[in-house]
């Protein structure tokens, strides 16, 4: 995994010895906001106004957190507004690399970096912390705006509406409380829950995580049997946040993270819901299973030291979903 310490790269895996074998994700440190007029957002400083061509995303097709931002970029029609660099999925001792020899990976068009940690060094030469995707970068001021995916998608959702974004509000005022409530337990037990199970280094930590994960999947299956989306009849950010975990579940998490009690295929409502979102215009283009499976099976040497990639399931994502009748 690796991290920077006072601006110096060090190849360190997550410490689970001090946590009883439990995986604990570190908090994002860059928390500025792009707003329509550059005024301060909920966190960080102001000075980041929405402008066409001003911002750049660093992402990985493999990472579910970065995947959220790619989907919002598509849903809001921001492809011509926000440029993108895509790291290679093969993350080894130097972290995320830029390597165009891997299909669909790109170079770092802003700085010509070899590794993503060098972009963080551009932002703060003394940065201490994990080197993660996504990153939203301001090309005008040459500053890192944010590396918090949950906040980046809210910027993409509304900040660019006045400069040519497509209509659509995935965090509407009347549903915000409901969306936040769903996000909270889905993040803790599902989005991060698969990592808590997969990166656990004690049986107790694994058992604890896996029980909560499948309790939540059962809860989601019941909920989606009663309504079309997580907060009712409208697609919101809560659905996109859940979906990036669902789409990785059967091809990766079942095997690699030992989440094998049930498949998403075994949940009729969840599986149909996953297909519906996959079939939304533009979403399929953001899914790259070669990057997803190559990253998890080949990069996590403490889990899969041989780097052998399993054959994987037949996903059947183009089958009619029937959710429009819900």
Per-domain boundaries in the chain: 2-163, 173-280
The pLDDT score that the predictor gives to residue 11 is: 84
Going by C-alpha positions, the residue among 141, 135, 140, 100 that lies closest to residue 116 is 135
Question: What count of other Cβ atoms lies within 10 Å of the Cβ of residue 304?
Answer: 16
Element (H, E) at 256: helix 254-256
Indicate if the alpha-carbon torsion angle 41, 46, 49, 55 is positive or negative.
Answer: negative
> d(Cα 115, Cα 70) in Å, to the nearest integer?
20
The pLDDT score that the predictor gives to residue 27 is: 73
The pLDDT score that the predictor gives to residue 225 is: 97
The pLDDT score that the predictor gives to residue 125 is: 96
Average pLDDT, consecutive stretches of 10 residues, N- to C-terminus, the chain (326 residues): 89 64 70 95 92 98 98 98 98 96 98 98 95 97 97 98 98 98 98 97 96 98 98 98 98 98 98 98 98 97 95 94 86
Question: What count of other Cβ atoms lies within 10 Å of the Cβ of residue 171?
Answer: 15
Element (H, E) at 69: helix 64-75
User: Same CATH fold, 173-280 and 2-163?
Assistant: no
Question: What count of other Cβ atoms lies within 10 Å of the Cβ of residue 265?
Answer: 16
Q: How many Cα neighbours within 13 Å face the side chain of 290? A: 6
| Residue ranges of the binding site | 96, 130-133, 148-149
The pLDDT score that the predictor gives to residue 167 is: 97
The pLDDT score that the predictor gives to residue 23 is: 57
The pLDDT score that the predictor gives to residue 325 is: 77
The pLDDT score that the predictor gives to residue 16 is: 58
Sheet holding 82-86, edge to edge: 82-86, 55-59, 135-138, 143-146
Active site residues: 63, 195
| Residue ranges of the binding site for glutathione | 96, 130-133, 148-149
For domain 173-280, give the fold.
Answer: Glutathione S-transferase Yfyf (Class Pi); Chain A, domain 2 (1.20.1050)
Q: In the chain, what is the straight-line distance between the N-terminal and C-terminal CA atoms, in Å?
A: 42
CATH of 2-163, one of 3.30.565.10, 3.40.50.740, 3.40.30.10, 3.40.50.2000: 3.40.30.10
Structure tokens at 310: 């399993």
> d(Cα 36, Cα 19) in Å, to the nearest integer?
42
Residues 6 or more apart from 8 whose CB is under 8 A from it?
none
The pLDDT score that the predictor gives to residue 246 is: 98
Strand partners, 136: 57, 146
- Is 65:133 a contact under the CB 8 Å cutoff? yes
The pLDDT score that the predictor gives to residue 15 is: 59
> d(Cα 147, Cα 322) in Å, to the nearest integer?
36
The pLDDT score that the predictor gives to residue 13 is: 61
Question: What count of other Cβ atoms lies within 10 Å of the Cβ of residue 15?
Answer: 10
The pLDDT score that the predictor gives to residue 75 is: 98
């Amino acid at each position: 995994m690796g991290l920077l310490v006072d601006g110096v790269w060090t190849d360190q895996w997550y410490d689970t010895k001090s946590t009883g074998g439990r995986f604990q994700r570190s908090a994002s440190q860059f928390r500025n906001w792009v707003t329509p007029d550059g005024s301060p957002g909920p966190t960080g400083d102001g000075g980041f106004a929405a402008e066409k061509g001003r911002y750049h995303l660093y992402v990985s097709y493999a990472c579910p957190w970065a995947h959220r931002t790619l989907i919002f970029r598509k849903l809001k029609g921001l492809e011509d507004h926000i440029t993108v660099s895509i790291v290679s999925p093969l993350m080894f001792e130097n972290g995320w690399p830029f390597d165009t020899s891997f299909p669909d990976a790109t170079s770092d068009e802003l700085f010509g970096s070899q590794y993503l940690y060098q972009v963080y060094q551009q932002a703060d030469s003394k940065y201490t912390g994990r080197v993660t995707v996504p990153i939203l970068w301001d090309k005008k001021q040459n500053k890192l705006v944010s590396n918090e995916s949950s906040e980046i998608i809210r910027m993409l959702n509304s900040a660019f509406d006045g400069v040519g974004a497509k209509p659509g509000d995935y965090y509407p005022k009347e549903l915000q409380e409901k969306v936040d409530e769903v996000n909270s337990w889905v993040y803790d037990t599902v989005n991060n829950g698969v990592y808590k199970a997969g990166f656990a280094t004690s049986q107790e930590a694994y058992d604890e995580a896996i029980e909560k994960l499948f309790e939540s999947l059962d809860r989601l299956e019941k909920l989606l049997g009663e309504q079309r989306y997580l907060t009712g009849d409208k697609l919101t950010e809560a659905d996109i946040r859940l979906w990036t975990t669902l789409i990785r579940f059967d091809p990766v998490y079942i095997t690699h993270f030992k989440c094998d009690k049930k498949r998403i295929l075994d949940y009729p409502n969840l599986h149909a819901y996953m297909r519906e979102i996959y079939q939304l215009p533009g979403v399929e283009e953001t899914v790259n299973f070669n990057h997803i499976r190559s990253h998890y099976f080949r990069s996590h040497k403490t889990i899969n030291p041989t780097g052998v990639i399993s054959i994987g399931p037949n996903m059947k994502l183009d089958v009619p979903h029937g959710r429009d009748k819900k």
